[in-house]
Amino acid sequence: MRKAISDRGIGRIAKVIRGQEEPDYGKGDPGQVKQAMEVYKAQWTPEGWVVPKDLWIFNSRMTKLPLIKSVNGDFKCDNNRLTSLAGSPLEVSGDFDCSFNKIKTLEGGPEHVGGNYSCSGNQLTTLEGTPRRIEGNLSCNSNPLVTLEGSPEYIGGYFWCYQTQLTSLEGLGEVVGEISTDVTEGVSTEKVEEERGPISVEDVARKLLEYETDWLYELGGMDDTSHWVEQIAADVGVSQDDYEDDLLEAVYDAKDDIKRGNDLSPYDESIITIARRLLDREIDFVSESYTGDTADWVREAAEEVGVVENGDDLSEDYIDQVYDEMYKIIGV
pLDDT in the model for residue 243: 64
**CA 245 from centre of chain:** 20
147 to 156, 167, 185, 196, 272: CA distances (angstroms): 21, 8, 13, 21, 36
CA gap 113, 93 in Å, rounded: 6
pTM of the model: 0.54
Q: What is the mean pLDDT of residues 148-166?
A: 89
Nearest to 231 by CA among 267, 272, 277: 277
176 to 10, 169, 266, 288, 315: CA distances (angstroms): 35, 15, 22, 46, 43
Asked if residue 102 lies in contact with residue 80, where contact means CB atoms within 8 angstroms, the answer is no
Over the stretch 92-119, which tens digit does the pLDDT of each residue have?
999 999 988 899 999 999 999 999 999 9
Determine the length of the chain: 332
211 to 47, 87, 137, 194, 225: CA distances (angstroms): 37, 27, 25, 27, 17
Q: What is the mean pLDDT of residues 273-284?
A: 90
CA gap 98, 100 in Å, rounded: 7
Please say if the pLDDT value at position 197 is more than 50. no
Q: What is the mean pLDDT of residues 239-264?
A: 78
Over the stretch 42-69, which tens digit does the pLDDT of each residue have?
888 888 889 998 888 876 677 888 889 9
